[in-house]
Amino acid sequence: MAEGNKPSAVTKLFDRVEGFQTREEVSMNRFNKYLAATFLSAVMFFAGAAQAMEIRQFDKMAGDDQIRYVDRLAQSVEDATKGELLARVKRFFMPKQPGEDISGMGRFEVNLSLARIADLEAVEKNPKARRLEVEDVMYVTLETSGIALPKSFRPVASNFQPKLPLSKKAMSKEEAGKALAEARAWAARTVDAPHAFRSNSGSVFSGFPDSQKAIAFFTALMAIGMAANNAGASSSSDSSGLYNDPHASDPWWQKSGYASYHDAVKAACIGAHPGSGRSYCN
């Protein structure tokens, strides 16, 4: 490879994520070197993150840990499917093939970058907005790629803990824009012959038509989460302090009135054009 065409650190990371090339072989000596310094901060950072991880948290992890996290999410998807659907899921997670415009993980990386921008823009306007999670992006990317997941399912990286130190710096909007450009370039790269990832059968989604609609969708999903936060705040405002909300531990989409996470995502897709048949997602 010519010197001027060397891949950046970000694109190297993308290549390793797409192929599920995890780094479980990191030596125990290296792990022990960081363990004492990072254990407490990692435990605090990931408290409550067993079910989902905000994108801003994900961005603070080292590349190796990001790969491991995405691996766990992907494995949970495979574990929740079977038969022909499982075959399509496995196909989705394959590395990009010759002649293919974009791979499944290429779509995931671009959508993650778009969701990051939507998240940062929404929080600028409302600091209390529900933060978008990596699980949101994985689920929506699979659905918009024509993979209809079980309605009761949401990707999960159970019992995940990072092995390497966490960054203290949050990603800025400018950095998020650069990350989007890199993700797009990586997803559109040419690889050396053949299949094409297609099939929308069984899904209510058909993919984001453009970046603005993708950002609008993720913003709508955050707004649905805010409805849950507002409902929780009002139900816990009893002046006596004795009120115990029996639904306090319910997931945010149920607090917002949706039977499943799938229903909340679908509502966000059609949120801009209720009753018109138009959608952010097609």
Asked whether residue 157 carries a pLDDT value surpassing 70, the answer given is: yes
| pLDDT level of residue 226 (50, 70, 90 thresholds) | confident
Q: Distance (Å, rounded) from C-alpha 142 to C-alpha 134?
A: 13
Residue 242 inside a domain? The answer is no
Enter the tokens of residue 149.
């997941």
Residue 178 inside a domain? The answer is yes
| pLDDT level of residue 281 (50, 70, 90 thresholds) | confident
Residue 280 inside a domain? The answer is no
Q: Distance (Å, rounded) from C-alpha 50 to C-alpha 163?
A: 15
Q: Distance (Å, rounded) from C-alpha 105 to C-alpha 94?
A: 8
Residue 153 inside a domain? The answer is yes
Give the model's pLDDT for residue 25.
Answer: 38
Give the model's pLDDT for residue 270.
Answer: 76
Domain that holds residue 37: 7-195
pTM exceeding 0.75: no
For the chain, the domain total comes to 1
Give the bridge partners for 54, in sequence order.
Answer: 133
Residue 170 inside a domain? The answer is yes
SS3 122: helix
Residue 222 inside a domain? The answer is no
Give the model's pLDDT for residue 65.
Answer: 96
Instruction: Residue 195: name the closest of 109, 86, 102 by CA.
Output: 102
CB atoms within 10 A of CB 209: 12
Q: Contact 256/229 with Cβ under 8 angstroms?
A: no
211 contact partners, CB below 8 Å, separation of at least 6: 114, 180
Asked whether residue 221 carries a pLDDT value surpassing 60, the answer given is: yes
Residue 114 inside a domain? The answer is yes
| pLDDT level of residue 151 (50, 70, 90 thresholds) | confident
